[in-house]
Structure 1
Amino acid sequence: MERNGEKGFWLYDLRVETVVGDRHAVCRHVEGEVFRVIGENLVFDGPAKVPMYALVGILPHLPARQRETDPDDWMSTDAEIACADPHCGGRFRIVREGRRWFSHAETTGLPEARSTPYWKDEQ
């Protein structure tokens, strides 16, 4: 995809919120705690914490949720992912927020196609 003559791609920013339903949470799930996914970064709001074992269960979903999907794909419609522990009632609600453009040259590992990494321009 191109924008202003530059090759690249769009990624959604994500808001990931802890949800506890009617089942007991075994892992540390605190209702309403939030972190965001912005580009490749997990950004935690305030004192939010996420148990690493529960995080392992949602990590593969995050890059897929960041990308454009067909409106009828379950990745577009099903917002909650259960904790990886089958005995835990905690879930994560993943909501797409704004989109950001990423240039291929700023994000590639290919030496011949590389420019200044995007994160160095953010400093």
Structure 2
Amino acid sequence: MAEKSEEAGFWLYDLRVETVLDGRTPVCLHVEGESFRVIGENLVFERDQKVSMYALAGLLPLLPAKQRETAPGDWMSTDAEVACPDPHCGGRFRIVREDRRWFSHAETTGLPDARGTPYWQEQE
């Protein structure tokens, strides 16, 4: 396999999305400390962890952008909390970048001429 620097591909951050209240009163059923992770394209929930589907709908458009490399001064690099979409709710969601993971283009594309073995079928 070619070195990552030579192979066509990209880095994505794994993310942890955690519910934070910081003393604010939630209207929705947000529980301080509940979280899920974003690993590649997958949302990964631990047992009994949950998030409101309305809050998730507000978070989803931001997650792929938060996974990407951004300039240090870009707000996507510096701002980590997203408010619940209910304007009366005190719930917030902290998005934390964790490890970076390499994805090769051939493992993630649907283009027939560029396809390799999907990343989720690769053996580590």
TM-score w.r.t. structure 2 length? 0.92
The aligned residue for residue 89 of structure 1 is 90
Offset, 1:122: 5.4
Q: Using the alignment, how far apart are the partners of 1:105 and 1:86 within structure 2?
A: 43
Offset, 1:116: 1.1
> Structure 1 residues 85 and 122 mapped into 2: Cα distance closer, same or farther (>3 Å)?
farther
Offset, 1:75: 0.6
Moved over 4 A (4+): none
Q: 1:63 and 2:64 equivalent?
A: yes
The aligned residue for residue 40 of structure 1 is 41
The aligned residue for residue 110 of structure 1 is 111
Percent identity between the two aligned chains:
75
Q: Using the alignment, how far apart are the partners of 2:79 and 2:5 within structure 1?
A: 34
Q: Is there any run of 5+ residues in structure 1 with no aligned partner, and where? A: none
Secondary structure at 1:3 match in 2: coil
Q: Is there any run of 5+ residues in structure 2 with no aligned partner, and where? A: none
Deviations 1:65-86 (A, max 9, x none): 0000010011111110001111
Structure 2 residue identity aligned to 1:60: P
Number of aligned residue pairs: 122
Offset, 1:24: 2.0
Offset, 1:99: 0.3
Deviations 1:1-23 (A, max 9, x none): x7153210000000110011343
Task: Compute the RMSD of aligned alpha carbons.
Answer: 1.6
